[in-house]
Amino acid sequence: MAHPDDLLFAAAEKLKIAETHRRSRNFTEARSLCEEILASHPEYVAALQTLGLVLAEQNDHAGALAPLSKAVMLCPVDWKLLTALSATNLKLRNTSAAMIHLDLASKLNPGDPHILLLQSEAHRQERDYEAAAVALRRCLAADPTIGEAKRLLADCLGHMGESREAAALLGQMVSEGKAGITALSLLIDLPYRLIDFDVLAALDKIESRTTSVSPERMRYLAAFVRAWIFDGRANHAEAWDQLVLANSLKRRAGEYAADAANRDRLLATARSLHEYPVQAGDPGLPVSLFITGPSRAGKTTLERLVGLLPDTRRGYENGIVEKAVRETTQLSGTITRRAINLLPPSLDGAFAERYTKSLLQKTQGARLLTVTHPGGLKDVIRLSAAVPNCRFVFMRRRRDDLAFRIFQKNYLEGNAYAYDLGSIGEYIDWAFEYIEFLHSRYPRTTLIVDYEDMIENPGSTLASVAALCDVALPQGNIPRPGDDRDCSRPYLDRMRALASPVRKVEG
């Protein structure tokens, strides 16, 4: 019989070989050795860790969850294990679980830059850009060489409206040779006038390098960036050619048909309702102001303006509703949902409790929270019935300008309508029709703001929002927002020549 020490030594040596295979990306051999070790030693934490890392590096994050969770269960005081499990949970968008484990890891190893980087990603998944930016600044203070932290910080700053600092940070990455196509594509959402380096030259260098980005993704990202560059230089013909190319590479007709059918069903269902209840007000709770409407209509600009109101907390695209729905369904023993329209009405009370808890945590004493979460139009009816003190501002914008900005935007996910001018037009028609319908049903808790009116008279717009939310106006002059009116003017003939109706699928 083998001596126990010999068995331990043999397992440890086998694990060293497995780890060597993992580092050389020979994942098949590494996994096989780990599974062989664990068959005899199922509580071997290091083997569980290596197996979890192997599966994660193969993008099998669901598979990695089991060994890493078991390893943390057996050894909850290893910050590296906690960090690895958190990274896997973030890949699976299990944000709350990741935050719990990252908090434990941070207590065990305070100030570690990689923990801070993951904490920032958890906040970004919750669209809490301010908290993410704080974590990223701490990360860069601990290790200024982490290029990913600079890219993510630039992204957060862009969402927060800190465009000048975001542009400077991206320029720094370019000068250091650390900017890839993903970083450079963040420029699209910034004003061209803020850029003080040759973006076209930087793009040419990036395209010539070997990268992990797929050729297809590289082509459409580069085309969107070139379109933005040429538009900024007033080379409108070249900008348009690049926009048409970029959108042709991203067009997803099948997804659009399903999306259009869902929108039509939503409007038809809303029209068929006999009652449109509004939850009673609660003076002890903050006001939730949802700034919604079609993409690129000016929601972020209005949120910056509303942020001037006293005792206001900007929530950006915060997923407070999605999180409350998820927690409500999970705690109620039902199938996990994230969209409030899929929540059984019998759970509205439980949802309101979860929502209120998150609201008080986010406002931290403020009287007003703004939310610009995408897709908020679809939530208005259910939120009005379930949550006290909800107010809604619907943004509209001149159709040509709105269509052009949508066509110019590279969306990370969803928005299947956005890559064809015909489907963009249908989406805008639907959004404007739904806005008018909702405002007619909720005249006391909703407001329609036209982008052009907001730019022309921001003080009047802010006064209307303050009256809607029953809050005081700020002292002093109201700064004028950036003016993006008539952005489509150089492209109108091209847009009208390209636009064509899109047949929608009835459902």
Average pLDDT over residues 313-324: 92
Residue 154 contacts residue 174 (beta carbons within 8 Å): no
- Measured CA to CA in angstroms, residue 20 lies from 42, 44, 78, 478 at distances of 21, 18, 21, 62
Residues 310, 448, single domain; the answer is yes
What is the reported pLDDT for 374?
A: 78
Alpha helices, DSSP H, located in 233-379: 236-250, 253-272, 299-306, 320-331, 348-363
At residue 156, what are phi and psi to the nearest 5 degrees? -60, -45
Q: Which residues contact 229 (CB under 8 A, 6 or more apart)?
A: 192, 199, 200, 203, 239
At 69 the three-state DSSP class reads helix
In a domain, 383, yes or no: yes
Judge whether residue 259 has pLDDT over 70: yes
- How do 312-314 and 446-450 pair as beta strands? unpaired
Number of domains in the chain: 2
Of 125, 158, 179, the one marking the end of a domain is 179
Longest CA pairwise span in the chain (Å): 88
Kindly report which listed range (169-178, 205-214, 301-310, 437-446) carries the lowest average pLDDT score: 205-214
What is the reported pLDDT for 255?
A: 84
Which residues are registered as beta bridge partners of 449? 395
Residues 130, 269, single domain; the answer is no
Residues 458, 344, single domain; the answer is yes
In a domain, 195, yes or no: no
Structure tokens at 197: 């380096």
Average pLDDT over residues 41-61: 96
User: What is the C-alpha to C-alpha distance for residues 63 and 152, in angstroms, rounded to an integer?
Assistant: 27
Residue 506: pLDDT band by 50, 70, 90 thresholds? very low
Sign of the C-alpha dihedral computed for residues 273, 275, 276 and 277 taken in this order? negative
Domain membership of residue 77 as a residue range: 4-179
Size of the chain in residues: 507
Quote the crossing angle between the two packed helices 61-74 and 45-57, to the nearest 10°: 160
In a domain, 43, yes or no: yes
Q: Which residues contact 245 (CB under 8 A, 6 or more apart)?
A: 220, 223
Residues 156, 291, single domain; the answer is no
- How do 287-292 and 368-371 pair as beta strands? parallel
Residues 281, 150, single domain; the answer is no
User: What is the C-alpha to C-alpha distance for residues 61 and 305, in angstroms, rounded to an integer?
Assistant: 41
In a domain, 244, yes or no: no
Residues 173, 259, single domain; the answer is no
User: What is the C-alpha to C-alpha distance for residues 238 and 491, in angstroms, rounded to an integer?
Assistant: 11
Of 179, 199, 234, the one marking the end of a domain is 179
Residue 469 contacts residue 444 (beta carbons within 8 Å): no
Residues 10, 115, single domain; the answer is yes
Of 179, 208, 224, the one marking the end of a domain is 179
User: What is the C-alpha to C-alpha distance for residues 463 and 466, in angstroms, rounded to an integer?
Assistant: 5
Judge whether residue 6 has pLDDT over 70: no
* Amino acid sitting at position 460: S
Burial category of 437 from C-beta neighbours within 10 Å (exposed 0-12, middle 13-18, buried 19 and up): middle
CATH number for the domain harbouring residue 450: 3.40.50.300
- The residue among 259, 264, 295, 266 whose CA lies nearest residue 416 is 259
Residues 171, 259, single domain; the answer is no
What is the reported pLDDT for 491?
A: 97
pLDDT in tens, 494-503: 999 987 655 4
Residues 302, 425, single domain; the answer is yes
What is the reported pLDDT for 10?
A: 87
In a domain, 41, yes or no: yes
397-427 in b/e burial notation, b at 16+ Cβ within 10 A? bbebbbbbbbbbbbeeeebbbbbbbebbbbb
Residues 165, 263, single domain; the answer is no
In a domain, 71, yes or no: yes
CATH number for the domain harbouring residue 158: 1.25.40.10
What is the reported pLDDT for 9?
A: 83
Which residues are registered as beta bridge partners of 447? 393
Question: What is the DSSP secondary structure assignment for residue 196, as one 8-state letter?
Answer: -
Residues 48, 142, single domain; the answer is yes
What is the reported pLDDT for 503?
A: 45
Over pLDDT 70: what percentage of the chain? 97
Residue 504: pLDDT band by 50, 70, 90 thresholds? very low
Over pLDDT 90: what percentage of the chain? 87
pTM for this one? 0.90
Residues 439, 351, single domain; the answer is yes
Question: Taking all residues of the chain, what is their mean pLDDT, rounded to a whole number?
Answer: 93
Residue 302 contacts residue 452 (beta carbons within 8 Å): no
In a domain, 107, yes or no: yes
pLDDT in tens, 283-310: 999 999 999 999 999 999 999 999 999 9
In a domain, 235, yes or no: no
Structure tokens at 16: 């060293």
Residue 340 contacts residue 266 (beta carbons within 8 Å): no
Average pLDDT over residues 136-148: 95
What is the reported pLDDT for 500?
A: 62
Element (H, E) at 394: strand 390-396
User: What is the C-alpha to C-alpha distance for residues 206 and 195, in angstroms, rounded to an integer?
Assistant: 17
Number of continuous H segments (helices) and E segments (strands) in the chain: 24, 5
